[in-house]
Chain A
């Protein structure tokens, strides 16, 4: 079957038995795994819901605007001035998100308006003819065969003259039957289209506008101006455009992160290292919402697939359904050990003994601690959200996004951090008009439990404001505006002295109020910003392993192949080639290595042009043995190894000299 192109798999006869055997021996493990995977499915379904909602929400207003624009009554016909309605959709530079956006747009347009929606991409429309063919095919949703296109189509139509299959007449026929209000033609990647082609299309559509109600939508990755520059004035005159801005991907990603990771009701959290990695990747390389959600999904998958203690994340888990091994595994968790040591330090030996001896006791403890740990993590997240809102309300100059604050909090760096100090200092200086906003923003976040009595503060503030007569806001003693610098010249020396303006009675009261708020908040932040890694059972609650995720999404295939060939022992782990490791490059070339690996290492030593005859000589010197048969064997290996290097793209033929090949890849570049 190996030389067949494609086939449907049929198992060899002896297959059945092996399959059965496998199933029995892993049944116990399998059962537990499927229980864990059930939890995974449940949790991920919630997350997926969130992601979906976020994405829908992100461009809801844009989509609505576009739909309204499309369904707006055609202004053109009655005025005698005919222009094609054109929506310029500024979709931003992250091309990967354009496809899903236009899909969502199409769904919405089809559902909410009586219009046909046709999406064209540059790949399927290299010229006007194929563009029209495509368009017609999509409008009329014909599924006929398109082999012998032009002729067959023409001959079969008996009514009137034959119509070529790129004639918009087809659309008109279809329109007389269906009577749609608008025919929306969306050009997804307008930059990739030839400008001349676009002009032709616009020209053509315009000439049909009296019969077919076209609306054009252009997806633009750059800017409306550059789109305009590409079109000729004549084409532009036929267009009546409106600009729509799509929410940019980085903002979407930020909200997505807020919804899925830095949110209060998430049972399993992605750890700070992983989050940072994923966000950095978004920032530096891809900008792709799907990539982020895939990463999250895979993290969830890995956690539940590989970590057997993750079963404790099940909400109503009972002791009976839990296998013993899981509890044993819990006893081996680093955080369990740390916790036990803490208990021992505080001389709770009885408790420790119980934990070690009684499975049931351990189960109850773990169950309780998982819940409390989740609460602690939720509190941390809540504090982060409070902090972000506080900074927003205070209108702090340096804008730090929620994701980065959350990551700092989750890695335990936020307590005592300059960021927090800076925020607290500016609270001290806040004036009464801003304080109102701050308190209101706290109040607005209902889902977050804040141990500070916001209402009391609000009432106190209102009382103070009532007593005031003038319109100037109240200031605190720390406000810079109450300070002034005074310069005095004493004995030809300038002296600077700080002077505090006298505070009014109300200002003093206000300062006290602020001081109380400050202290309350400070206590709150200091109390909640703990280091989550130190948390008991953090292995269950937080997934922060880099290993499978990075390799799975950002593989290093070149490195893998170079390593396999450069030091095959790393993979093979055999006894014969292992001596190579410590003695350096010279010793590495032992004859026992696979032929391709030997040849590859010789290849590494040579220059950009390689003489195959010399390569053969060197290869033969290393692996060759005496005798006619062995000569053949060595040569066969050499040929195979060289062919493999060619297959992998390391060498290519050179015509510069006879029997020479050109080096293509340098190791480690």
Chain B
């Protein structure tokens, strides 16, 4: 947290400190010369008019960004440097046409200052200009605070200020500017503190990792080829042999020794909840067969052909609902041909009444995998399930996967469930519970890969009418335009948690439904909203479009692809490749 203060300090009083340091600390002079180049740039209106026509301004900036080599991206210093000194550089471009890339390559302050000195020596006029500017800057900085406020009103200044606030603690320049005296030493001292301190207590670690400026990450991205698709994944996984298989087998064996104990616990009216890391399906499977054998040996089944009924529910399957569970239970319980109520509460009531009036010879066992899965979390389901589980003629054995599952139930639900918890860590992979490839794609916002990427989209589009293709083209180009806007926006340097990034978010959120509709009407793709919806529905069905509500409540549509893929798509669409 300490780190924050110097930063803010600098932001608030940048020009003044510059000056003081200029006087106090001549060592850094060259560096300041350059920075002073910037300051007058921003403060003298005359210069701006002359030297910075907006298109010119944008081009070098963009090129600087794009040309920035990968290693450069990792050091935050680079991006900031470029941004901050852009105006002066653009002017240099005007004057002596130094290529941007070269300038980006040698970024060190010393080299720059040296080059500047050479430049001055060669080009007398500019150096004179510079000197003049410096004087002007000095004069302005000496002026009152009102002046500074006026600076703040300057449209360009907030942006720069804002950038200094961006959490880049490592940037050396900033530190220097913030500390007029002994800043070099300070910097040296600070550097090691960036390495995480050893053995922090958990809460300290939380604050340390969430500190302002702590979320500095590189801009590396995973190339699309690295991630496996379903086929590759399953192919690889089939041949994969886990070296821990014997140990996992041992864990399973260990847990299965408790089966008799669990039977006893169930028989005493408790329900059982299994938790711990790893898929517990193998355990429930083994237990189910154990239970089946146990029930078969009971007097109720001796001599009869009627098998005991154990109901197994896989809560992790995405479309499991309470109704399925209750219907399965009802078919096991009620005579065939009974008309079942449609609503789950009435169905539950019927089941509970039946269980109370004609109790079965033994409690009906319910084996539920993943009780805490998303489909079973929705509002009425836990309440009704708890009611069901609290009936003495129902034995529930369920598994839970998430570490925070107890928070799902309040005290009255927990009282109804009457759970005994057992740690059954298995380390087995969640094979059935989880589609690893899809989950990762979703996690990284690449769910577009689901339909087979660009080719898949092409395939779908080819089978759709012309109008649909046009609509998709509009959608893709609009989204691309939004993304490009973001790229051009100087603030797009990937700093997280900054207000600037709202525009980035907006791009990620896609095009507003209304906007897209009007564009479509303008281009005669469709004439009514009904037609528009019909076209969109096709995209939705093929998962080519995703929609969500933004913070304002407006519906936004977006194509779940990354920029490169979108560009390719747009090319195909415009080029009538489909």
Write the residues of chain A forming the contact surface with B, with a CB cutoff of 8 angstroms. 1-12, 15-16, 18-19, 22-23, 37, 95-96, 98-99, 123-124, 143, 145-147, 286, 288, 290-291, 294, 297-298, 301, 305, 551-553, 555, 557-558, 560-562, 564-565, 568, 571-574, 576, 585, 592, 594, 596, 605-614, 616-617, 629, 632-633, 635-637, 639-640, 642-644, 646-649, 651-661, 663, 665-669
- B314 lies within 8 A of A605 (CB): no
List of B residues within 8 angstroms of A123 by Cβ: 380, 383
- Asked, given contacts A6-B314, A8-B311, A649-B404, whether A657 binds B222 with beta carbons under 8 Å apart, the answer is no
- B226 lies within 8 A of A635 (CB): yes
* Residue B292 is within 8 A (CB to CB) of chain A in the complex: yes
List of B residues within 8 angstroms of A143 by Cβ: 341, 346, 349-350, 353
Partner of A557, one of B221, B331, B403, B420: B403
- B293 lies within 8 A of A19 (CB): yes
* Residue B22 is within 8 A (CB to CB) of chain A in the complex: no
* Residue B400 is within 8 A (CB to CB) of chain A in the complex: yes
Q: In the assembled complex, how far is the CB of residue B532 from the closest CB belonging to chain A, in whole angstroms?
A: 27
- A613 lies within 8 A of B222 (CB): yes
List of A residues within 8 angstroms of B342 by Cβ: 145-147
List of A residues within 8 angstroms of B508 by Cβ: 655
- A291 lies within 8 A of B415 (CB): yes
Q: In the assembled complex, how far is the CB of residue B386 from the closest CB belonging to chain A, in whole angstroms?
A: 11
- A5 lies within 8 A of B320 (CB): yes
Report Cα–Cα, A10/B296, bound state, in Å.
12
- B423 lies within 8 A of A560 (CB): yes
- B202 lies within 8 A of A648 (CB): no
Partner of B444, one of A8, A612, A656: A612
List of A residues within 8 angstroms of B346 by Cβ: 143, 145-146
- B228 lies within 8 A of A560 (CB): no
The winner among B250, B339, B342, B415 for most chain A CB atoms within 10 A is: B415
Report Cα–Cα, A347/B445, bound state, in Å.
82
Report Cα–Cα, A635/B222, bound state, in Å.
12
In chain B, what residue has the closest Cβ to A564? B277
List of A residues within 8 angstroms of B459 by Cβ: none
- Report B186-218 residues with CB < 8 Å from chain A CB: 196, 198, 201-203, 205-206, 209-210, 214-218
- Asked, given contacts A560-B277, A669-B206, whether A640 binds B237 with beta carbons under 8 Å apart, the answer is yes
Closest 10 CB pairs of A and B: A668-B202, A19-B293, A555-B421, A643-B439, A564-B277, A656-B496, A643-B436, A558-B403, A9-B310, A2-B432
Partner of A9, one of B222, B311, B325: B311
- Asked, given contacts A553-B420, A561-B276, A572-B251, whether A592 binds B243 with beta carbons under 8 Å apart, the answer is yes
Sample of 15 further A-B pairs with CB below 8 A, known A555-B423, A655-B445 = A3-B432, A6-B328, A8-B331, A9-B310, A19-B290, A96-B411, A96-B415, A301-B264, A557-B403, A607-B214, A635-B226, A646-B439, A646-B443, A653-B444, A661-B443
Report Cα–Cα, A305/B268, bound state, in Å.
12
Q: In the assembled complex, how far is the CB of residue B362 from the closest CB belonging to chain A, in whole angstroms?
A: 14
- B320 lies within 8 A of A294 (CB): no
Report Cα–Cα, A117/B15, bound state, in Å.
79
List of B residues within 8 angstroms of A592 by Cβ: 243
- B296 lies within 8 A of A19 (CB): yes
- A659 lies within 8 A of B222 (CB): yes
- Size category of the B interface is 35 or more
* Residue B358 is within 8 A (CB to CB) of chain A in the complex: no
* Residue B427 is within 8 A (CB to CB) of chain A in the complex: yes
- Asked, given contacts A636-B236, A646-B443, whether A6 binds B214 with beta carbons under 8 Å apart, the answer is no
Report Cα–Cα, A571/B278, bound state, in Å.
12
List of B residues within 8 angstroms of A608 by Cβ: 209-210, 214-215
- B203 lies within 8 A of A669 (CB): yes
- A6 lies within 8 A of B320 (CB): yes
Q: In the assembled complex, how far is the CB of residue A104 from the closest CB belonging to chain B, in whole angstroms?
A: 15
Q: In the assembled complex, how far is the CB of residue A377 from the closest CB belonging to chain B, in whole angstroms?
A: 25
Report Cα–Cα, A605/B244, bound state, in Å.
25
* Residue B332 is within 8 A (CB to CB) of chain A in the complex: yes
- Asked, given contacts A3-B314, A5-B324, A9-B292, whether A642 binds B237 with beta carbons under 8 Å apart, the answer is no
Partner of A607, one of B209, B242, B264, B432: B209
- Asked, given contacts A9-B367, A636-B236, whether A288 binds B443 with beta carbons under 8 Å apart, the answer is no
In chain A, what residue has the closest Cβ to B436? A643
- A565 lies within 8 A of B277 (CB): yes
- A8 lies within 8 A of B275 (CB): no
List of A residues within 8 angstroms of B268 by Cβ: 297, 301
26 A-B interface contacts by CB (under 8 A): A1-B312, A2-B431, A3-B314, A5-B320, A8-B310, A19-B296, A96-B415, A552-B422, A555-B423, A557-B404, A562-B403, A564-B425, A571-B277, A594-B244, A606-B209, A607-B210, A607-B215, A617-B220, A633-B240, A636-B237, A639-B228, A646-B443, A647-B439, A649-B402, A652-B443, A666-B206
The winner among B209, B332, B418, B497 for most chain A CB atoms within 10 A is: B209
- B220 lies within 8 A of A614 (CB): yes
List of B residues within 8 angstroms of A4 by Cβ: 314, 317
In chain B, what residue has the closest Cβ to A659? B221
Report Cα–Cα, A9/B285, bound state, in Å.
10
- A37 lies within 8 A of B264 (CB): yes
- A658 lies within 8 A of B221 (CB): yes
List of B residues within 8 angstroms of A18 by Cβ: 293
- Asked, given contacts A9-B312, A643-B434, A644-B434, whether A663 binds B404 with beta carbons under 8 Å apart, the answer is no
- Report B231-251 residues with CB < 8 Å from chain A CB: 232-233, 236-237, 239-240, 242-244, 246-248, 250-251
List of B residues within 8 angstroms of A301 by Cβ: 264-265, 268
Report Cα–Cα, A669/B403, bound state, in Å.
12
The winner among A9, A294, A649 for most chain B CB atoms within 10 A is: A9
Report Cα–Cα, A9/B243, bound state, in Å.
32
In chain A, what residue has the closest Cβ to B350? A143
List of B residues within 8 angstroms of A291 by Cβ: 415
List of A residues within 8 angstroms of B444 by Cβ: 612, 653, 659, 661
- B341 lies within 8 A of A657 (CB): no
Report Cα–Cα, A662/B471, bound state, in Å.
34
- B265 lies within 8 A of A7 (CB): no
Q: In the assembled complex, how far is the CB of residue B218 from the closest CB belonging to chain A, in whole angstroms?
A: 6
Report Cα–Cα, A636/B238, bound state, in Å.
11
- B440 lies within 8 A of A643 (CB): yes
In chain A, what residue has the closest Cβ to B221? A659
- A555 lies within 8 A of B406 (CB): yes
* Residue B72 is within 8 A (CB to CB) of chain A in the complex: no
In chain B, what residue has the closest Cβ to A607? B209
* Residue B452 is within 8 A (CB to CB) of chain A in the complex: no
In chain B, what residue has the closest Cβ to A636? B236
List of B residues within 8 angstroms of A573 by Cβ: 247, 250
- B341 lies within 8 A of A23 (CB): no
In chain A, what residue has the closest Cβ to B311? A8
* Residue B460 is within 8 A (CB to CB) of chain A in the complex: no
Report Cα–Cα, A209/B394, bound state, in Å.
41
* Residue B442 is within 8 A (CB to CB) of chain A in the complex: yes
List of A residues within 8 angstroms of B239 by Cβ: 633
